[in-house]
Amino acid sequence: MNFSESLFIIGSNTSEQHPVFGTMLRRAIKNRGVKLIVADPRRIDMVDFATMHIRQNPGTDIALLNGLMYIIIEKGWEDKAFIEERCENFDEFKATVMQYPPQKASEITGVPVGQLYQAAEIMATTKPMAVMWAMGITQHIVGVRNVMTLANLQMLLGNMGKPGGGVNPLRGQNNVQGACDMGGLPNVYTAYQNVINDEARLKFARAWGCDEAPRTKEGLQGTSSNGLPSTVGLTVTEMMPGILTEKVRALYIMGENPVTSDPDSAHIRHCLEQIDFLVLQDIFPTETAEFADVLLPGVSFAEKTGTITNTERRVQMVNQAIPEIGQARQDWAITAGIAMKMLEGQVDQPETRFVKMDAPWAKWNYTDSSDIMSEINALTPSYTGITHSRLLKGERLQWPVPALDHPGTPILHTKGFARGKGKFMPIDHVPPPEMPDDAYPTILSTGRVLYHWHGGAMTRRAKGLMEVYPEAMVEVNQDDAVKLGLDGKKRVRVTSRRGSIEALAWVTDRVPPGMVYANFHFPESSANELTIAALDPVSKIPSFKVCAVKVEIVE
């Protein structure tokens, strides 16, 4: 970012979601005169700092980006050398982009043709440009395709693998990067070692004392019941409906609150009511606790030591400042406790699972979290050189850190893409799964606000934050407000095909007419009562950013 000449923020309310990063962007704009283009249906705060604001219709990002790329190609602004040397599949991609002349892109997106030209010119003439994106890009049924389209744009402009360029996702949670890095996904072990890759599976099977043959699909019949599964598991958005079909019978949840944070809360509640056994490990009795059978008190960040990995792959220490509150226990120790009890007295019989405890990393008797880090170092190539002692000495490490004496890697893809050449992907616009109609004429988009966090379990228990932002507010455009008869004091009822909430209306031009914006920080009026559980077919990310609702005044 320190080398960028221009910034393109799309689908990221940076100054509210990543406030400190947002201020860094503002500084770049103010101190270095960096040009900013914001593409967002909402007039978010970053617009105050923007050279231009593109206000595309929700769910039309691909059409917008294809339209911009059409202009870039039309004007001959593409980085021909970069495309030639570093990329492939340009012609097929170009054929698709040529289906989006500015007039057509304008019709789909609602962005005037002149603005498209203006934006394309800024992008082509102020390089390098960094693209910043977040959930506004991914939380669509075309989320993955949105991301690919951004990659297309940056390859077209030759902004990939350069300081100040690139596609830069802003990760939401403090350790969403780390949770992914650590194998908290159904398809990969740590460092994205794929579960369907035999070599990776064997490596972990040997390390953890499991059979080398893959676990059979059915699980426990036959000799391979002690292997690691070789098929991809279920995502969270698949697990919930799986409960209804008894595909999923037990859930162990650590520090998550699906009732509030998943789409279509009513459906989630319905699913969880049916579950056979739910263990919830958290610091507060969240909305999900209502459905739990066992509640295990974990600890807050102030009570634990460990590492987390930020959005720029920087691994940093969390250090324990106070003892565990009450009988609360270190989260890793709880998990280890369950594991040890499950392994206790295990017998090597066909009808159950057996782990060979003499394998190098089979054991669970960790003394502290740095013990666990040693195991991570051994099994995770990108984390090999990341140890607590290095971090505590003040070393600043961004993975990959392949060795103890390696200084870390601040920028990826400097010499080439992970897969060799960057592949242009031809991608077409697909309308959102649910569009406004007569019954539900308004578009709802959802997200967070500056003063709260996610399901609100922490921030609703912070006094000052509640003083500033005490209840849910739905952003309603002033023209719509007039039509509804809102005066800034009245509440609105927002209803979708899935549910209904009431909240205070914030009359503002932050949202365009025909659109409302709600957050999910307050369970009593959470936007997720309304959202649709339509998923991106690849990432399984729900379409939080577009669904159809109707808005009424609460008399």
Stretch that binds other proteins, among 77-85, 95-103, 118-126, 280-288 (CB under 8 A): 280-288
The reply to whether 42 sits near other proteins by the rule CB under 8 A is no
Listed as own residue / partner, the contacts of 17-22 with beta carbons closer than 8 Å and 24 or more positions apart are 17/134, 17/135, 17/170, 17/172, 17/447, 17/448, 18/134, 18/170, 18/311, 19/450, 21/170, 21/311, 22/46
Which of 78/256 has CB closer to other proteins?
256
Smallest separation (angstroms) from other proteins to the CB of 168: 11
Residue-level length of the chain: 555
The reply to whether 365 sits near other proteins by the rule CB under 8 A is no
Would you say the C-alpha torsion 162, 152, 176, 185 has a positive or negative sign? negative
Q: Which helix (H) or strand (E) holds 38?
A: strand 35-39
Among 89, 99, 118, 335, binds other proteins (CB under 8 A): 335
Which of 157/182 has CB closer to other proteins?
182
User: In 3-state terms, what secondary structure has residue 352?
Assistant: coil
Which of 332/522 has CB closer to other proteins?
332
Q: Dihedrals φ, ψ of 475, to 5°? A: -80, 125
Provide the token pair at 118: 């203006």
Which of 40/282 has CB closer to other proteins?
282
The reply to whether 463 sits near other proteins by the rule CB under 8 A is yes
Near other proteins in 97-116, by CB under 8 A: none
Among 32, 75, 80, 247, binds other proteins (CB under 8 A): 247
Which of 125/346 has CB closer to other proteins?
346
Smallest separation (angstroms) from other proteins to the CB of 130: 15
Smallest separation (angstroms) from other proteins to the CB of 550: 24
Smallest separation (angstroms) from other proteins to the CB of 336: 6
CA distance 152 to 425: 7
Which of 3/204 has CB closer to other proteins?
204
Near other proteins in 378-397, by CB under 8 A: 383, 394, 396
Provide the token pair at 377: 């170092």
The reply to whether 95 sits near other proteins by the rule CB under 8 A is no
User: In 3-state terms, what secondary structure has residue 417?
Assistant: strand
Among 73, 213, 266, 279, binds other proteins (CB under 8 A): 279
The reply to whether 315 sits near other proteins by the rule CB under 8 A is yes
Near other proteins in 153-212, by CB under 8 A: 170-187, 189-190, 195, 204, 208-210
The reply to whether 62 sits near other proteins by the rule CB under 8 A is no
Please say whether the beta carbons of 215 and 247 come within 8 A: no
Smallest separation (angstroms) from other proteins to the CB of 501: 18
Near other proteins in 510-529, by CB under 8 A: 510
Which of 26/429 has CB closer to other proteins?
26
Stretch that binds other proteins, among 106-114, 160-168, 347-355, 492-500 (CB under 8 A): 347-355
Smallest separation (angstroms) from other proteins to the CB of 380: 8
H helical segments located in 4-142: 14-17, 19-32, 61-74, 80-86, 90-97, 102-109, 113-125, 135-138
Which of 112/488 has CB closer to other proteins?
488
Among 56, 57, 106, 237, binds other proteins (CB under 8 A): 237
The reply to whether 3 sits near other proteins by the rule CB under 8 A is no
Which of 341/421 has CB closer to other proteins?
341
Smallest separation (angstroms) from other proteins to the CB of 251: 5
Work out the number of other CB atoms within 10 angstroms of the CB of residue 289.
15
The reply to whether 375 sits near other proteins by the rule CB under 8 A is yes
User: In 3-state terms, what secondary structure has residue 31?
Assistant: helix
Which of 101/186 has CB closer to other proteins?
186
Between vectors from CA 355 to CA 352 and to CA 356, what angle results, nearest 5°? Answer: 135
User: In 3-state terms, what secondary structure has residue 52?
Assistant: strand
Which of 392/435 has CB closer to other proteins?
392
Which of 20/418 has CB closer to other proteins?
20
Provide the token pair at 543: 């379409």
The reply to whether 309 sits near other proteins by the rule CB under 8 A is yes
Among 52, 266, 295, 412, binds other proteins (CB under 8 A): 295
3 state SS for 242-293: HHHCCCCCEEEEECCCHHHHCCCHHHHHHHHHCCCEEEEEECCCCHHHHHCC
CA distance 509 to 481: 10
Q: Which helix (H) or strand (E) holds 297?
A: strand 294-297
The reply to whether 468 sits near other proteins by the rule CB under 8 A is yes
**Strands 277-282, 250-254: parallel, antiparallel or unpaired by DSSP?**
parallel
The reply to whether 357 sits near other proteins by the rule CB under 8 A is no
Among 101, 110, 241, 242, binds other proteins (CB under 8 A): 242
User: In 3-state terms, what secondary structure has residue 315?
Assistant: strand
The reply to whether 458 sits near other proteins by the rule CB under 8 A is yes
Which of 143/158 has CB closer to other proteins?
143
Among 81, 322, 347, 403, binds other proteins (CB under 8 A): 322
User: In 3-state terms, what secondary structure has residue 106?
Assistant: helix
Among 77, 490, 508, 553, binds other proteins (CB under 8 A): 508
**Strands 397-398, 314-318: parallel, antiparallel or unpaired by DSSP?**
antiparallel
Expressed in angstroms, the distance from the first to the final Cα of the chain is: 49
Near other proteins in 487-506, by CB under 8 A: 488, 506
The reply to whether 485 sits near other proteins by the rule CB under 8 A is no
Q: Tell me how many residues contact other proteins (CB under 8 A).
A: 174
CA distance 166 to 151: 8
Q: Dihedrals φ, ψ of 80, to 5°? A: -65, -40
